[in-house]
Amino acid sequence: MSTEDKIRYLSEEIKRLKKERRAVILSHVYQRPEVQEIADFVGDSLGLSQQAAKTDAEVIVFCGVHFMAESAAILSPDKIVLLPEIKAGCPMADMVTVEALQEKKKEIPGVIVVCYVNTSAAVKAESDVCCTSANAVKIVSSLPEDRPVLFIPDENLGQYVARRTGRRIHLWEGYCNTHDKLFAEDVLAAREAHPNALVLVHPECRPEVIDLADAVASTTGMIRFARESDAREFIVCTETGILHQFRKQCPDKEFYLASDKLICPNMKATTLEKVHRALVTLEPRVTVPPEIREKALRSLERMLAVT
Ligand code: 13P
Ligand code: SF4
């Protein structure tokens, strides 16, 4: 069977099984194009959480990484949540542990902990409010000004939020291995090659890359910006999977990845074969223990109430 035939066959089987299982398939924009194509909803971390919270499906197949499936399990505890590749984690999420966070909280009396959604359920349970790259500025702006704020674990996003809100924020030394590989030189070279292009930057990028941006936004925010902009060309400073949505949603515009280093291996670990297998076996499942779920839910619900 050719690769195209295999993709066609698996996609049809997945669509059939999805109905049989009363399942919904959610995909992050960093997933492989063929995985995005079989999804009922493709979006950023915020959009995916909102979909997970409101779906009436019995099974959620999460094409993304572990913390995203955990958030779905927290928001929809009565559903079966499947993560087709159970080892698909997020290295940034692993850069903060409950123990380290508890220690840090002791050092800053009265601190409000804002946790990026890229954290484990247990860390969310130890935090006050969650955020994504789409709403981090709004969430921090909504906090009382007389209380110190600790932002975990993404230092670049935390620094960006501090600049945008004018607040002094305690930062954590976490970072995304994928966005961290992008340097200002890469963006400057791309700009030289495409002088008419606007630069779209994800706030997980280094500050010197953010400084070169025409727009800083979450993945969905970048796509919206490109759709609404009069510009015809864009340099994209985030994971390569997003190009599929850019080209689908803006077929008359050109998109150039700022560097071919922008690949997240964890996001690419989910394949159609694994989605198919997950729907057949209803495994691997992601669950969250009730005592952690209850506290983590508070952080997620506070975020969803502000957005
Ligand atoms: P958003 O899609 O929310 O912008 O997040 C990017 C990301 O790195 C998710 O892991
Ligand atoms: Fe984690 Fe970065 Fe991959 Fe997103 S792109 S899952 S933040 S490593």
- Tell me: the pLDDT tens digits for 79-112? 999 999 999 999 999 999 999 999 999 999 999 9
- C-beta of residue 255 within 8 angstroms of C-beta of residue 5: no
**Cα(300)–Cα(297) distance, integer angstroms:** 5
278 CA → ligand 1 middle, Å: 23
Tens digit of each residue's pLDDT (9 = 90 or more) over 254-271:
999 999 999 999 999 999
pLDDT at 40 over 80: yes
The three state secondary structure string of 249-263 is: HCCCCEEEECCCCCC
- Range 93-175 classified under CATH 2.40.37.10: no
The answer, yes or no, to whether any atom of ligand 2 lies below 6 A from the CB of 239, is: yes
Token code pair at residue 80: 């079966």
Ligand 2 atom at shortest distance from the alpha carbon of 93: 1
Fold equal for 3-89+267-287 and 93-175: yes
Reported as a single tens digit per residue, the pLDDT across 42-63 is: 999 989 999 999 999 999 999 9
- The ranges assigned to domains in the chain are 3-89+267-287, 93-175, 179-257
What distance in angstroms lies between residue 133's CA and the mean position of ligand 1's atoms?
A: 7
Ligand nearest to the CA of 132: 1
The residue whose C-alpha atom lies closest to atom 6 belonging to ligand 2 is: 90
Laid out side by side, the sheet with 23-28 consists of 41-43, 23-28, 59-63, 80-82
Superfamily of domain 3-89+267-287: NadA-like (3.40.50.10800)
Closest-lying ligand 1 atom to the alpha carbon of residue 239: 8
- Tokens (6 digits) for 129: 């409010």
Q: Which CATH class is domain 179-257?
A: alpha beta
Is the pLDDT reported for residue 1 higher than 90? no
